[in-house]
Amino acid sequence: MKIDDVVKRAYAMPLTNPAFPPGPYRFFNREYIIITYRTDPAALAEVVPEPLEVAEPLVKYEFIRMPDSTGFGDYTESGQVIPVRFNGQDGVYVHAMYLDDDAPIAGGREIWGFPKKLAQPKLSHEGEVIVGTLHYGSVLCATATMGYKHKIIDTAPIAKSLTAPNYLIKIIPHVDATPRICELVRYHLQDINMHGAWSSPADLQLFRHVIADVARLPVLEVVSAVHFIADLTLGLGEVVHDYLAKR
């Protein structure tokens, strides 16, 4: 293979058989359970990086079923996002994500810098209750329960919230394990088509684990919960801050 061929083909690893196809990526019938809870402001301050600012001491804990996504297939995800501000604009910082499929783990980390780890999240309907669980190996790390579609709610505010900017820290190490890339990345969800949204009572429990440390942001009070289904496109990102740039 010639040098020019390497450069032409090199968008992902491995060079001759990438773990994922080029994006952007479209998701169909993406099912969300999002439980918003109040947490310890000091714990938030330890995990949200400057120049992002914490908007309120709130965390959104998510379970997401993705049965049909271009390039990534069928998988489930669970994790925490934090409402933040950047240059006076509201958005969310993606703090932790756990999922059960290799391709979106590799693609998410390599392209955007999603903080993805391999685990066993599950979202299921058990009679009148929606149940979300996160296992890391054999250990239970999170349990969410929510009533099944108690009240239909307007999809417009949810669709609008999905268009807000999302922020990530993308870290790529050098061969000597020092950071070669350390950037604040912004991306947007696009072409959103809502199928329905519901509110219900919900509860959330987080359990301590050394690697899947979702309990690092403890649940002090459940504020709200929403269940919705949508089609959307995960747009590609842009760098908004370079932590390694000379100052």
Q: What is the pLDDT of residues 34-49, one digit of tens each?
A: 999 999 999 999 999 9
Q: Is the pTM of this model over 0.75?
A: yes
Residue 23: predicted pLDDT: 83
Instruction: Give me the domain span that covers residue 191.
Output: 19-242
User: Which CATH number belongs to the domain containing residue 31 in this structure?
Assistant: 2.40.400.10
Domain presence at residue 65: yes
Residue 247: predicted pLDDT: 59
Domain presence at residue 4: no
Which of 88, 56, 23 lies closest to 217, judged by CA?
56
Dihedral sign of CA atoms 154, 157, 158, 163 in order: positive
Contacts of 130 (CB under 8 A, 6+ apart): 33, 123, 124, 144, 145, 146, 147, 148, 200, 227
Domain presence at residue 182: yes
What would the two tokens of residue 211 be? Answer: 């690697």
List 8, 60, 116, 160, catalytic entry: 116
Domain count, the chain: 1
pLDDT per residue over 121-175, tens digit each? 999 999 999 999 999 999 999 999 999 999 999 999 999 999 999 999 999 999 9
Domain presence at residue 14: no
Asked if 96 and 189 touch (Cβ cutoff 8 Å), the reply is no
Domain presence at residue 6: no
**How is residue 70 annotated by DSSP?**
T
Is pLDDT at 208 greater than 70 in this prediction? yes
Domain presence at residue 93: yes
Asked if 58 and 217 touch (Cβ cutoff 8 Å), the reply is no
Q: What is the phi/psi pair of residue 119, to 5°?
A: -155, -165
Asked if 124 and 65 touch (Cβ cutoff 8 Å), the reply is no
Q: Name the E strands within the chain.
A: 25-38, 53-54, 58-69, 73-86, 89-99, 116-118, 120-126, 129-136, 139-147, 151-152, 166-173, 179-187, 189-199, 202-206, 221-234, 238-242
Residue 116 a catalytic site member = yes
Domain presence at residue 55: yes
Asked if 158 and 151 touch (Cβ cutoff 8 Å), the reply is no
State how beta strands 89-99 and 166-173 pair.
Answer: parallel
pLDDT per residue over 172-198, tens digit each? 999 999 999 999 999 999 999 999 999
What would the two tokens of residue 114 be? Answer: 């999603």
Asked if 62 and 33 touch (Cβ cutoff 8 Å), the reply is yes
pLDDT per residue over 111-129, tens digit each? 999 999 999 999 999 999 9
